[in-house]
């Protein structure tokens, strides 16, 4: 079990036969793009080349371990690896299960911290929300992120030293 003070060791080899694929196939949107010539293939590859930053960027991203937000966070972290982005993943709501822990360990651009802080939509969460805010501040001080990416609402209101991004997935309380 990794607690808020223990990062997941990213240097461990993946288990034999382990895959980086999510547990379920990701949905595809639209039809795959088909090129008709080698020139079209080269052009498609050139369009996909984006400038890389001179130093790796760091994103501190929150996630919960209870719902679909973890799927989103791991999928995004996997995609950001291609752009040399380090993701400090701050998981709240309880420990990752073994399947998710294996997927996170397989991502060499992710440093994962797990905690049991209650989420803002849980019963009587506010003491934990305050403590989690302090914990996130410690992680931000330690890693100096370029962007704070929140998959929850409450912590985005705190005073951060870098730009913040909030993604609203859903509100369990309104269901």
Which tens digits make up the pLDDT trace of 44-60?
A: 445 555 566 667 899 99
Instruction: Say which residue, 54 or 135, is predicted with more confidence.
Output: 135
Helix axis angle, 98-105 relative to 69-81, nearest 10°?
A: 20
| Mean of the per-residue pLDDT values of the chain | 78
Instruction: Say which residue, 13 or 62, is predicted with more confidence.
Output: 62
Tokens (6 digits) for 123: 């019963």
Choose among 115, 123, 67, 60: nearest CA to 93: 115
Instruction: Say which residue, 39 or 148, is predicted with more confidence.
Output: 148
- Mean pLDDT for 150-158 is 93
- Residue-level pLDDT at 20: 42
- Residue-level pLDDT at 59: 98
Tokens (6 digits) for 147: 């962007």
Choose among 136, 78, 137, 134: nearest CA to 104: 78
Range with the largest mean pLDDT of 2-6, 27-31, 115-119: 115-119
Whether 150 has a pLDDT exceeding 80, the answer reads yes
- Mean pLDDT for 103-124 is 95
Helix residue ranges per DSSP H, 66-125: 69-81, 98-105
- 139, containing H or E segment: helix 126-143
């Amino acid at each position: 079990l990794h607690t808020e003070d223990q990062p997941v060791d990213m240097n461990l080899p993946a288990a034999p036969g382990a895959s980086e694929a999510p547990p379920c196939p990701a949905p595809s949107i639209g039809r795959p793009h088909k090129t008709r010539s080698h020139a079209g293939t080269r052009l498609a590859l050139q369009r996909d080349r984006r400038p890389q930053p001179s130093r790796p960027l760091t994103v501190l991203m929150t996630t919960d371990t209870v719902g679909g937000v973890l799927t989103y966070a791991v999928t995004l972290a996997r995609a950001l690896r291609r752009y040399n982005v380090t993701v400090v993943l701050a998981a709240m709501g309880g420990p990752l299960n073994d399947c998710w822990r294996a997927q996170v360990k397989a991502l060499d651009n992710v440093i994962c911290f797990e905690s049991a802080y209650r989420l803002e939509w849980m019963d009587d969460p506010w003491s934990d929300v305050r403590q989690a805010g302090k914990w996130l501040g410690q992680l931000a001080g330690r890693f100096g992120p370029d962007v704070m990416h929140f998959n929850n609402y409450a912590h985005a209101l705190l005073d951060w030293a870098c730009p913040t991004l909030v993604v609203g997935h859903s509100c369990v309380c309104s269901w």
